[in-house]
Amino acid sequence: MSWQSVRILVDSKQAEPLSDALMETGALSVALEDADAGTLDETPLFGEPDHPSAELWPHSIATVLLDEHADVAGILAAAAKQAGVPVPADYSVETVAEQDWVRLTQSQFDPIPISPRLWIVPTWHDAPDSRAINLKLDPGLAFGTGSHPTTRLCLRWLDAHLTGGETLLDYGCGSGILAIAAARLDATGVDGVDIDAQAVTASRDNAALNGVAAHFCLPGELAAGQYDIVVANILTNPLKGMAPLLAGRVRSGGQLVMSGILAEQADEVMVVYSDWFTFAPPAVDEGWVRLAGVKR
């Protein structure tokens, strides 16, 4: 059996009503994403601190999964009529073949060497080097497998700079990989927060899997206080909007490490944080940068 995957470009006012209508007119699933993700027009996720709720993104992509024999045009027309929106004209259709999705997903994540002493090892693999610090990881539904350049950049910084005993906050923890790495590298007070409850759950599960003491919660549940190190691997626009919040979490003389930033965006991010931090030169990996600054 195979399926049809339909990608539809929709605006913010149409996205949610059309998604609901599609589910009622034959769609097996509907997923929404920012059509401008990874570009300078990327919009912060609604619900981020310092960003009020919004109607999703200005431009969204709805990915709709349909049965292989479904009438795509007919379903789109019926859903649009039910939602009271124009029939989508900008869409594409691809065939999705039946596969063993578990094995396919797992095959995409092999053990990843971060440094000679630090590896990321998916739970379905054996550790290539039993003497190394091996971070066991099940990404679940959260971002952070270690395969993305931004995650590698942050892990390399932690590996090079942690000496033991540091307090650390991982803001936007995803799978919890950065907080867990910090704990394995002997940081002693490690917290992680994320606006996604599924990410918090995945982080807690991964911390237990690695036998580390780290606390994960939603932003509103985080206790007041400052840290020696704050790590934020998010995206440029949320990072800019959260500058006062993140700066306030770093103690004087402490360090802020940020990634999720395209190389051409680095200067504008450093300008936003320049009232608080003195930055080292950016580190670059495949067009992404990591910024590390000391709080004055």
pLDDT at 69: 92
| Helix axes 177-184 and 197-210, enclosed angle (nearest 10) | 30
Question: Which of the residue ranges 43-57, 75-89, 127-141 has the most confident prediction, judged by mean pLDDT?
Answer: 75-89
Q: Would you state the structure tokens that stand for residue 238, as one six-digit string? A: 């949320």
Query: Quick one: what percent of the chain has pLDDT higher than 90?
Result: 71
pLDDT(200) > 80: yes
Q: Which of 109-113, 163-167, 279-283 has the lowest mean pLDDT?
A: 109-113
Say whether pLDDT at 49 is over 50.
no
For residue 103, name the pLDDT band (cuts at 50, 70, 90).
low
Among 21-35, 106-120, 138-152, where is mean pLDDT lowest?
138-152
Give the DSSP letter of residue 98. -
pLDDT at 101: 54
Please determine whether the domains at 3-98 and 114-295 fall in the same fold group of CATH: no
Following DSSP, what letter does each residue of 105-171 receive, concatenated?
Answer: HHHT---EEEETTEEEEETTS--S-TTSEEEEE--TTSS--S-SHHHHHHHHHHHHH--SS-EEEEE
Instruction: Return the closest-CA partner of residue 227 out of 275, 178, 266, 267.
Output: 178
Q: What is the mean pLDDT of the chain?
A: 88
Note the pLDDT of residue 109: 73
DSSP letter (8 states) at residue 22: H
Q: What pLDDT sits at residue 119? A: 94
* pLDDT at residue 213 is higher than 90: yes
Using one digit for the tens of pLDDT, what is the confidence trace for 3-12?
Answer: 899 999 998 8
Q: How many CB atoms lie within 10 A of CB 241?
A: 16
With a cut of 50, say whether residue 235 has pLDDT above it: yes
* CATH, range 3-98: 3.30.70.260
- Is 60 exceeded by the pLDDT of residue 46? no
Topology of domain 114-295, per CATH? Answer: Rossmann fold (3.40.50)
Nearest to 286, CA basis, from 116, 151, 142: 151
Q: How many residues does the chain have?
A: 296
What's the DSSP call for residue 71?
A: -
Instruction: Tell me what the mean pLDDT of segment 96-103 comes to.
Output: 63
Q: Where are the domains of the chain?
A: 3-98, 114-295
